[in-house]
Amino acid sequence: MDDAERQGRIFETMFARLALTAARPLPPALLQPALDLIVATLRRNHPHAFARLEELDDAEVLIDPVDLPLAFRLRLGPAGVRLRLCRRDGEAAGAVIRGEFPVLLDLLEGRTDGDALFFSRDLVIEGDTAVVVALRNAVDGEDIDLAADLAAALGPFARLLAPARQAATRLHDDLAELHGLLLSPATRRLEGVERRLARLEKKSH
């Protein structure tokens, strides 16, 4: 992953976390128009994928980004494609796709191999795997770039994304550095304890 892609993933994850944290106390009906706009934008840019999704039997997939505060329910089938926010402890879904948000985004955009993610346990699939396979086949080869699709929908406001992305990356790197500085003394102490325990264990033998 090059620097531009890394910046993009950091920004997208931070933005999604902030947005969903703010959304938690709000009524779902208030948030649904924003999700409908995302789906409408993707439908406009990727009509063939949506045609394939609407040819599937009726199904619901729980998409669970484990590093974000809320999950998504994706409805597929002839009644249309619809996305809505939900809590993880809500009603059961026919299939579940679970992983960290950047992993799920890479899977949607075809940047990584879903089988490899599954076997590496970065991705967990539960329930009706046939639905998940059909979903992946429908979006396969569509060259989806979610950030670019949504930026196009923002029109003139899209030019604000580049500085926001850079600021988010700097903030992420600064927090990671601070985290390392705060943990390093405790890490050194733990390593010292482990060395002493190892010496005592050798002496006991």
The pLDDT tens digits of the residues spanning 30-79 come to 889 888 988 998 898 889 999 999 998 899 999 999 888 888 999 999 99
202 occurs within a structural domain: no
Domain that holds residue 48: 3-155
The pLDDT of 72-91, averaged and rounded, is 88
Task: Tell which wins on pLDDT, 74 or 19.
Answer: 74
92, part of any domain: yes
Q: Quote the distance between the C-alpha of residue 66 and its chain's center.
A: 8
Yes or no: say if 46 and 59 are a contact pair by the CB < 8 Å rule: no
d(CA 154, CA 148): 10
> Domain for residue 127, yes or no?
yes
Strands (E), the chain: 59-65, 71-76, 82-86, 95-99, 123-127
In a domain, 181, yes or no: no
Instruction: Kindly report the average pLDDT of the chain as a whole number.
Output: 76
* H/E run at residue 185: helix 161-204
The dihedral sign for the CA sequence 155, 112, 106, 138? positive
Instruction: For residue 10, give Cα distances in angstroms to 13, 147, 168, 176, 198.
Output: 5, 12, 7, 12, 40
Instruction: Tell me if 11 is assigned to some domain.
Output: yes
Count of the separate structural domains present in the chain: 1
The CATH number given to whatever domain includes residue 122 is 3.30.1050.10
Kindly state the average pLDDT of the residues 9-23.
69
Q: Does 199 fall in a domain? A: no
Residue 185 forms part of a structural domain: no
Mean pLDDT along residues 14-31:
77
